[in-house]
């Protein structure tokens, strides 16, 4: 009897080639599409949401360590060596080259201040100024300089000037070249009207002068008669200032550890000199700065001389002109 094949309505039997392709080759319909469906991941259901993934195992790869850098060697900062503080040089109160004195009249009666004479006010240049008051009006007067001592030198004219209607006059002058010590005088008609001086009883006086070497002053020294040859004492600078009855004496660079005397003389020298009782002692550098009371007698020529045997030649108050 022939085989009976039951047919299901609407179902078409698959060809054998198709069945073999599906089961044996894994290919689906659709011609030449070769894409494959990936296998489901572990822990997941095909066609569903993937399940939780296990954490990855830690990787114990050693991290490279940086090469240690040694700390820098600290270099100590050297302590700076302080510069030694220089020993200050004593500063004189005024210009060491300046000469200033007061012109007085009325000696023997009542002294009257007639004005100042100033030399080397700003520099040692021999330039000076003079002011006169109380002279006759509209009168010609002469300013002269008289070197010390008067027995060895004569006065010379510095300038001539004329007073105004009040009897006053002022002018600038230049002293001749040299080192000088002595008195300025103002004369009129051959008579002395006023001369530089100082007086211990007069409060309105002004006197200051630089000390000069005695051997080169006026310009052949101050000794009226020949004396045995002795050396000139050294002196870097020195000054005399008189205020009232006190003389301020300053020495720098004189003979070290020596004793000097202050002597006041008149212009004529000789018996007109008086040594003051207070002495001047220099230190190991030859410096001294001392106030000395001065007696009323004596003149306005000031000598500073050393007490020694044999004695060196000392100094005299004066000024210079190049």
CATH number for the domain spanning 171: value is 2.60.40
**Co-location of 291 and 217 in the same domain:** yes
**Co-location of 217 and 190 in the same domain:** no
Strand partners, 208: 100, 241
The verdict on residue 80 lying in a domain is no
pTM of the model: 0.70
**Co-location of 218 and 187 in the same domain:** no
The verdict on residue 254 lying in a domain is yes
Q: What is the mean pLDDT of residues 277-304?
A: 92
**Co-location of 236 and 310 in the same domain:** yes
Report residue 311's pLDDT band, with 50, 70 and 90 as the boundaries. confident
**Co-location of 123 and 189 in the same domain:** yes
Q: What is the mean pLDDT of residues 167-190?
A: 96
The verdict on residue 28 lying in a domain is no
The verdict on residue 214 lying in a domain is yes
Q: What is the mean pLDDT of residues 59-78?
A: 56
- Separation between Cα atoms, residue 208 and residue 247, nearest integer Å: 9
Q: Are 317 and 212 in contact (CB under 8 A)?
A: yes
What is the percentage of the chain residues whose pLDDT exceeds 90?
51
**Co-location of 182 and 218 in the same domain:** no
Domains in the chain: how many in total?
2
- Does residue 122 carry a pLDDT above 70? yes
- Separation between Cα atoms, residue 261 and residue 257, nearest integer Å: 14
Residue 32: predicted pLDDT: 45
**Co-location of 217 and 299 in the same domain:** yes
3-state secondary structure of 271: helix
Q: Which domain holds residue 238?
A: 207-222+231-321
Q: What is the mean pLDDT of residues 21-27?
A: 43
Q: What is the mean pLDDT of residues 178-187?
A: 96
The verdict on residue 282 lying in a domain is yes
- Separation between Cα atoms, residue 309 and residue 263, nearest integer Å: 18
């Amino acid at each position: 009897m022939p085989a009976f094949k039951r047919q299901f309505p609407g179902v078409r039997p698959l060809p054998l080639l198709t069945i073999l392709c599906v089961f044996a080759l894994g290919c689906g319909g659709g011609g030449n599409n070769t894409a494959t469906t990936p296998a489901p991941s572990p822990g997941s259901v095909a066609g569903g949401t993937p399940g939780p993934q296990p954490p990855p195992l830690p990787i114990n790869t050693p991290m490279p360590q940086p090469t240690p850098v040694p700390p820098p060697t600290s270099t100590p900062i050297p302590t700076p060596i302080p510069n030694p503080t220089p020993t200050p040089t004593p500063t004189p109160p005024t210009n060491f080259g300046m000469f200033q004195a007061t012109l007085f009249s009325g000696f023997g009666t009542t002294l009257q201040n007639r004005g100042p004479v100033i030399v080397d006010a700003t520099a040692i240049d021999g330039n000076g100024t003079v002011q006169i008051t109380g002279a006759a009006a509209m009168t010609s007067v002469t300013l002269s300089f008289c070197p010390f001592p008067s027995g060895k030198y004569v006065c010379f004219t510095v300038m001539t000037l004329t007073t105004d209607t009040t009897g006053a006059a002022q002018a600038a002058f230049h002293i001749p070249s040299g080192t000088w010590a002595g008195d300025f005088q103002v004369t009129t008609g051959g008579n002395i009207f006023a001369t530089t001086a100082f007086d211990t009883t007069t409060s309105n006086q002004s006197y200051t002068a630089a000390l000069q070497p005695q051997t080169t002053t006026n310009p052949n020294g101050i000794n009226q008669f020949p004396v045995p040859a002795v050396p000139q004492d050294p002196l870097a600078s020195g000054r005399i200032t008189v205020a009232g009855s006190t003389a301020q004496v300053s020495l720098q660079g004189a003979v070290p550890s020596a004793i000097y005397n202050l002597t006041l003389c008149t212009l004529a020298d000789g018996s007109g000199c008086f040594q003051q009782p207070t002495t001047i002692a220099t230190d190991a550098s030859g410096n001294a700065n001392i106030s000395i009371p001065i007696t009323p007698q004596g003149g306005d020529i000031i000598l500073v001389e050393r007490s020694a045997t044999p004695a060196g030649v000392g100094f005299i108050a004066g000024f210079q002109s190049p």
